[in-house]
C-alpha cells in the first residue's frame, strides 16, 4: 500500500523550548495534503509536538485520509542493541523500554541518566553512549568525550554508512548530534502508537497495512533543494520539513514504492536513501520552473515587412526570458554554468591583514630615529601558521608571504633590505607606514556582490567564489537544445548517396555549436519532407528540450513543412529580416517550446544561428542578452555594398587586415570552414576598398 493522501514531516529536536518565538533549533512540522503545501508549523517543545501530532492523526483518520509521518531520527539502534537491552531483537521493544524509563518535562529530563544506566549495564560504563551537555553534572558511566570510550555495538547502522554527514545515535551532545533526539523522541512515538493502536505501523519493521505510517527521514538527503530555498532566507529546519513533505507528495508512486521497499528488520532505514536525485527534483520542481513563454512571443507588430536586424534583435530580447530551472551545485562542478542569483562574499579577501613579501614586520610608529636596529621577537608568522602573541613596540618579527600580521605591527620590510643576526635586524630609514602589507578586505569585503546573476561561470569566477568562502553556487540547469534537419534530399554521411541526394551538413554543425555555447543537445535526426514525421519530431523535442532548432523547410513553398506545421498551431511568425545571407526565419511555439526554423542553406543557417539564435538561446538559458564582441580592422578587399540589408561576409584576419572569402555564394560550405569570423557590413550603402575600416566578429566572440 503506497497510496498516501497526506505527508507530515517532523524535524525533531533534543532541546525543549518554552518560549513562543520560532527558533531554528526546535520542532518543525511540514504538511502536504493532496497537492496543497501548508506553511511549516513551529512546535516549541515535545509536549506541544505530541499534542499536535495526536490532533493531526485524529483529523486525518476522521477524514479517511491515509497519512505518512516522517521523523528525523533513527527508529532503531545498530545490530545487537535491542537484544542486549530488552532480551529480544525487536526494535519496537526498545521503544517500549525507553518509554518506560525516560522522564520528560519542559524543564527537565533524565536522558543522560538513562544513557549512563545503559552504559553501566551493557558496556561497563565505557559506552555505547557518550556526550553530556550538562557542564557541571557528571553522570556515572557516561563518558563526556569519545576518547577512552568503548562501544560494545557497531558505531553505525548499515544505512548510516551510506548517508554521508549523518551522525551516530550514540553521540548525545555536541553540534549536530542526534542521540538525544532518539532517546527523547522514541517514547513520544511509542505513546502515539499505543494511543492509535492498530492504526499506526512503523516502517520498515511492520507491514504497512494501516492508515498511519511512521517513517524515518533525514533532511540531509534534500540538501540541494534546501540550500536553494535558503537563498531566500528563512529558517533551515522549516524549509527542510516543508520541502520533504512536498517532495514525497509529488513523487510518482513507483518511486515512492521503491523507497519503501527495504528490508532492515532491526536497525531500520532512512527513507529515500539512494534516491536523493529524485527527492531533490520533486522538492524543487515547481518553485524553480520559470513561467512558460507566451504563445505570441514571436509575433511581429502589424504592418512590418522587412525587419532591420537591430529591431529583430530588440524583439527577441524583449519577448524572451529564461525558461530553465535552477539548482545548487558544488563550486567544482559549476564551470560553464549560468549563475542564477547574485552571490556575495561570505568572507573578506584577504580575511586579515597580511604580508605581501618575505621579510620582517614591526609597528612603524615605534621606529627609532635614524637607521633602525630592532630586536627580534623569537618565532615567526607564516601563511596558515600565525604568530600566537603580540609584538612589543620597537620590536620586529620574521614573516613569510601570506602570513597574517601579528598583533601590534603594521609594516613589513623586505628581507633583501635588512641585515639580520639571530637577535636583531638593521635597515635604512625611510620605509613608508604600511609598506608591503595587504589590508583585510582590500580585494573583496564580506557581503560584497562578487558575481551577478546571468554570468557564465569562468575558472577565475570559481577562484573568487572559493576565496571568499563559498562552496556551492546557485546555477541554472543547462539549456537543452534539440536539433532537426529537414529535407527529402538529405542522407547521413557514411551512407550511400543517390543522385540528387546530399549529405546533411547542418545537423553536425548546429549540434556542435550548441555544445560550444555550453548547452545540452538532443539530436532528433534527419526528417523527410513529411508532415507527420516532422510533427512527431517536434513532439519529442517539445517534451525533452527547451528549444528546437530546425534547418530547411522554413519558407512558404510546397515542401516547407516547418512553417506549415508551426502555422497550424497559430503561433508561427515569419520574420523577413533585412539580412544577407538569410531567407525568412520561421519562429514559433510548439507545445510551449520555442522553435527556431533556420534556412536550409548552411551558410545562411550558420549566420542566422550566430546573429539571432545565439543571443536568444543565451536569454532562454538565463544568461542575459549576449552581443558578440567585435573590433574594427582595415579591409583587405574591394566591394560595393548596396543599401537595404545588413550583410555578413565569411572572413578572417591576416596581417592585421580583414580578408573576405573569395565567393559570396551561399552554398559554399568551404568558405565557412575557411573563415574565422564574420565581417559585419552596416544596413546602408558602403564602398569598400583596401584599408576601409570594417567590423570583424570572430567566431570565438559568439561563445
Give the shortest CB-672-to-ligand AMP separation in angstroms.
11
User: Between residue 538 and residue 567, which ones bind Mg ion under the rule CB under 5 A?
Assistant: 552-553
User: Between residue 512 and residue 551, which ones bind ligand AMP under the rule CB under 6 A?
Assistant: 551
Apex 392 CA angle, 388 and 393, nearest 5: 145
Half-sphere exposure of 640 (CA within 13 A, CB side): 0
Q: Facing residues of 130 across strands?
A: 171
599 binds Mg ion (CB under 5 A): no
582 binds ligand AMP (CB under 6 A): no
Element spanning 646, H or E = strand 646-654
597 binds ligand AMP (CB under 6 A): no
Q: Where are the alpha helices (DSSP H) in 235-360?
A: 236-250, 253-260, 276-288, 309-319
Q: Cis ω on the peptide bond leading into residue 239 (within 30° of 0)?
A: no
DSSP secondary structure letter of residue 612: I
609 binds ligand AMP (CB under 6 A): no
DSSP secondary structure letter of residue 660: E
| 53/586 with CB nearer ligand AMP | 586
Q: Which residue's Cβ lies closest to ligand AMP?
A: 600
| 359/487 with CB nearer Mg ion | 487
The position carrying cell 508532415 is 531
505 binds ligand AMP (CB under 6 A): yes
Spatial distance between the Cα atoms of 266 and 648, rounded to a whole number of angstroms: 72
The rounded Cα 615 to chain-centroid distance in angstroms is: 23
616 binds ligand AMP (CB under 6 A): no
504 binds ligand AMP (CB under 6 A): yes
Residue range at the interface with ligand AMP (CB under 6 A); choices 69-77, 123-131, 597-605, 620-628: 597-605
Q: How many residues bind Mg ion (CB under 5 A)?
A: 4
In this structure, are residues 678 and 697 in contact, taking their beta carbons and an 8 Å threshold? Answer: yes
User: Between residue 125 and residue 164, which ones bind ligand AMP under the rule CB under 6 A?
Assistant: none
Interface residue with ligand AMP, options 322, 487, 541, 588 (CB under 6 A): 487
Backbone angles phi, psi at 257, to 5 degrees: -60, -45
Q: Is 397 helix (H, G, I), strand (E, B) or coil?
A: strand
Give the shortest CB-642-to-Mg ion separation in angstroms.
28
In this structure, are residues 9 and 271 in contact, taking their beta carbons and an 8 Å threshold? Answer: no
Q: Which region, left, alpha or beta, applies to residue 241 given φ > 0 means left and ψ of -120 to 50 means alpha?
A: alpha
Interface residue with ligand AMP, options 599, 622, 671, 698 (CB under 6 A): 599
Residue 35, Cβ density class (10 Å: 0-12 exposed, 13-18 middle, ≥19 buried): exposed
Which of ligand AMP, Mg ion, none sits in contact with 490, Cβ below 5 to 8 A by type? Answer: ligand AMP
Q: Facing residues of 548 across strands?
A: 482, 595
Which of ligand AMP, Mg ion, none sits in contact with 16, Cβ below 5 to 8 A by type? Answer: none
Which of ligand AMP, Mg ion, none sits in contact with 6, Cβ below 5 to 8 A by type? Answer: none
Interface residue with ligand AMP, options 502, 512, 556, 591 (CB under 6 A): 502
602 binds Mg ion (CB under 5 A): no
Residue 137: which residues within 8 A CB-CB, separation 6 or more?
112
| 317/668 with CB nearer ligand AMP | 668
User: Between residue 451 and residue 490, which ones bind Mg ion under the rule CB under 5 A?
Assistant: 487
From residue 235 to residue 274, the character string flagging contacts with ligand AMP as x (rule: CB under 6 A) and all else as - is ----------------------------------------
Binding site for ligand AMP (CB under 6 A): 485, 487, 489-490, 502, 504-507, 551-555, 599-602
Binding site for Mg ion (CB under 5 A): 487, 552-553, 600
Amino acid at each position: 500500500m503506497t497510496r498516501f493522501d497526506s505527508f507530515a514531516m517532523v524535524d525533531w529536536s533534543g532541546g525543549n523550548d518554552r518560549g513562543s518565538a520560532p527558533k531554528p533549533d526546535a520542532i518543525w512540522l511540514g504538511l502536504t495534503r493532496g497537492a496543497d503545501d501548508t506553511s511549516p508549523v513551529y512546535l516549541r517543545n515535545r509536549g506541544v509536538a505530541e499534542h499536535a501530532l495526536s490532533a493531526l492523526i485524529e483529523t486525518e483518520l476522521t477524514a479517511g485520509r491515509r497519512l505518512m509521518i516522517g521523523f528525523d531520527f533513527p527508529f532503531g539502534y545498530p545490530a545487537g542493541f535491542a537484544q542486549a537491552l530488552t532480551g529480544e531483537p525487536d526494535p519496537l521493544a526498545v521503544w517500549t523500554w525507553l518509554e518506560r524509563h525516560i522522564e520528560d518535562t519542559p524543564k527537565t529530563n533524565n536522558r543522560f541518566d538513562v544513557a549512563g544506566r545503559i552504559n553501566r549495564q551493557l558496556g561497563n560504563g565505557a559506552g555505547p553512549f557518550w556526550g553530556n551537555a550538562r557542564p557541571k553534572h557528571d553522570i556515572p558511566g557516561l563518558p563526556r568525550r569519545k576518547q577512552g570510550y568503548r562501544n560494545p555495538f557497531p558505531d553505525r547502522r548499515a544505512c548510516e554508512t551510506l548517508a554521508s554527514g549523518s551522525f551516530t545515535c550514540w553521540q548525545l551532545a555536541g553540534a549536530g548530534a542526534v542521540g538525544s533526539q532518539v532517546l527523547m523522541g522514541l517514547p513520544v512515538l511509542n505513546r502515539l502508537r499505543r494511543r492509535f493502536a492498530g492504526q499506526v505501523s512503523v516502517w520498515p519493521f511492520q507491514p504497512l497495512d494501516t492508515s498511519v505510517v511512521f517513517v524515518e527521514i533525514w533532511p540531509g538527503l534534500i540538501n540541494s533543494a534546501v540550500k536553494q530555498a535558503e537563498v531566500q532566507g528563512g529558517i533551515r529546519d522549516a524549509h527542510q520539513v516543508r520541502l520533504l513533505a512536498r517532495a514525497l507528495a509529488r513523487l510518482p508512486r513507483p518511486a515512492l514504492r521503491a523507497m519503501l521497499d527495504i528490508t532492515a528488520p532491526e536497525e531500520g532505514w532512512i527513507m529515500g536513501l539512494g534516491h536523493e536525485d529524485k527527492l531533490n527534483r520533486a522538492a524543487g520542481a515547481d518553485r524553480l520552473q520559470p513561467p512558460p513563454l507566451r504563445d505570441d512571443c514571436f509575433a511581429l507588430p502589424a504592418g512590418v515587412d522587412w525587419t532591420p536586424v537591430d529591431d529583430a534583435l530588440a524583439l527577441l530580447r524583449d519577448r524572451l526570458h529564461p525558461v530553465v530551472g535552477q539548482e545548487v551545485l558544488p563550486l567544482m562542478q559549476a564551470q560553464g554554468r549560468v549563475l542564477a542569483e547574485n552571490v556575495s562574499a561570505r568572507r573578506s579577501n584577504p580575511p586579515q591583514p597580511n604580508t605581501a613579501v618575505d621579510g620582517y614586520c614591526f609597528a612603524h610608529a615605534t621606529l627609532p630615529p635614524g637607521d633602525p636596529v630592532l630586536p627580534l621577537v623569537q618565532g615567526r608568522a607564516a601563511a596558515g601558521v600565525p604568530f600566537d602573541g603580540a609584538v612589543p613596540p620597537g620590536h620586529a618579527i620574521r614573516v613569510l608571504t601570506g602570513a597574517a600580521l601579528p598583533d601590534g605591527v603594521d609594516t613589513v620590510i623586505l628581507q633583501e633590505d635588512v641585515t639580520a643576526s639571530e637577535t636583531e635586524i638593521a635597515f635604512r630609514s625611510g620605509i613608508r607606514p604600511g609598506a608591503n602589507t595587504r589590508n583585510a578586505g582590500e580585494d573583496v569585503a564580506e557581503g560584497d556582490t562578487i558575481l551577478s546573476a546571468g554570468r557564465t561561470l569562468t575558472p577565475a569566477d570559481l577562484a573568487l567564489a572559493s576565496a571568499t568562502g563559498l562552496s556551492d553556487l546557485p546555477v541554472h540547469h543547462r539549456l537543452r537544445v534539440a536539433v532537426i534537419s529537414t529535407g527529402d534530399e538529405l542522407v547521413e554521411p557514411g551512407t550511400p548517396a543517390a543522385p540528387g541526394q546530399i549529405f546533411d551538413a547542418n545537423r553536425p554543425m548546429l549540434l556542435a555549436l550548441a555544445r560550444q555555447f555550453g548547452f545540452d543537445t538532443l539530436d532528433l535526426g534527419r526528417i523527410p519532407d513529411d508532415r507527420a514525421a516532422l510533427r512527431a519530431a517536434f513532439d519529442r523535442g517539445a517534451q525533452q528540450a527547451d528549444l528546437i532548432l530546425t534547418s530547411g523547410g522554413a519558407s512558404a513553398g510546397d515542401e516547407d513543412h516547418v512553417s506549415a506545421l508551426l502555422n497550424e498551431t497559430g503561433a508561427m511568425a515569419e520574420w523577413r529580416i533585412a539580412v544577407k545571407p538569410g531567407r525568412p526565419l520561421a519562429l514559433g511555439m510548439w507545445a510551449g517550446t520555442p522553435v527556431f526554423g533556420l534556412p536550409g542553406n548552411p551558410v545562411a543557417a550558420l549566420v542566422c544561428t550566430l546573429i539571432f539564435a545565439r543571443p536568444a538561446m543565451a536569454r532562454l538559458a538565463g544568461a542575459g542578452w549576449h552581443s558578440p564582441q567585435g573590433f574594427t580592422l582595415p579591409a583587405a578587399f574591394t566591394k560595393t555594398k548596396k543599401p537595404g540589408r545588413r550583410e555578413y561576409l565569411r572572413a578572417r584576419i591576416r596581417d592585421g587586415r580583414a580578408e573576405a572569402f573569395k565567393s559570396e555564394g551561399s552554398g559554399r560550405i568551404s568558405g565557412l570552414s575557411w573563415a574565422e569570423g564574420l565581417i559585419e557590413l552596416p544596413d546602408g550603402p558602403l564602398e569598400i576598398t583596401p584599408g576601409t575600416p570594417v567590423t570583424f566578429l570572430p567566431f570565438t566572440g559568439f561563445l
